[in-house]
Amino acid sequence: MAQPRHHLDRLVLAAAALFAVPLVAAGPADERISLFDGKTFAGWEGNLQMFRIEEGAIVGGNLQTKIPNNEFLCTTKEYGDFELRLKFKVAGEGVNAGVQFRTKRIPNHHEVIGYQADIGQKYWGALYDESRRKKMLAQPTPEVLAKAAKPDDWNEYVIRAEGKRIQLWLNGVQTVDYTEAEDGIEEKGIIAVQIHGGPPSEAWYKDITIEELNK
């Protein structure tokens, strides 16, 4: 026996609801907060002679004059376990930059101490220990780096720190999966963006969001 049309319509709608995949997943994306409003330095501190806001991005350095030393624009709030996302691009010969996390200011000094997701030269996608052990802790192979980095364009970093495990993704390609083996290493600190001392260069950062984990 043929089913009434309105009954078939209800069956179709029920099936569609059962098997449909939402276009936007609920959960972590809803818990992200923006760390930079694109217009002001609210929530940040640093040497504002070396940082400016242009086209909705934080810009460190310039292409006219030498960068005297490393400079960092830092959040005023500290974070422990989190997933940080941001976009960046760099310009200038020999440019070097990075994103600090679980980091501290060194008192009365331009430097900071802590983990860095490195940017520039051969260090894209690498995990460096700034001012502490002063060495690369983990970095991708040249083959992985060739797939991941876009030196002349905007790039995206995803930085996930949870307990002793740190993971980095560059443009969707995982470049680091590192577990801290040394005792006494800080698991909480500020977020900072860097322009490295050296020749005239710029580092641009925008769309900076964070999701705190295990709150």
pLDDT tens per residue across span 47-97: 999 999 999 999 999 999 999 999 999 999 999 999 999 999 999 999 999
What pLDDT was estimated at residue 70? Answer: 97
CATH assignment, 35-212: 2.60.120.560
| Spans of all domains in the chain | 35-212
pLDDT at position 32 over 50: yes
What are the DSSP calls for 11-77, one per residue? HHHHHHHHH---SS--SGGGG-EES--SS--TTEES-TTTEEEETTEEEEEESSS-B-S-EEEEEEE
Query: Which range among 21-25, 138-142, 153-157, 164-168 shows the weakest confidence by mean pLDDT?
Result: 21-25
Q: Is 8 helix (H, G, I), strand (E, B) or coil?
A: helix
pLDDT at position 135 over 70: yes
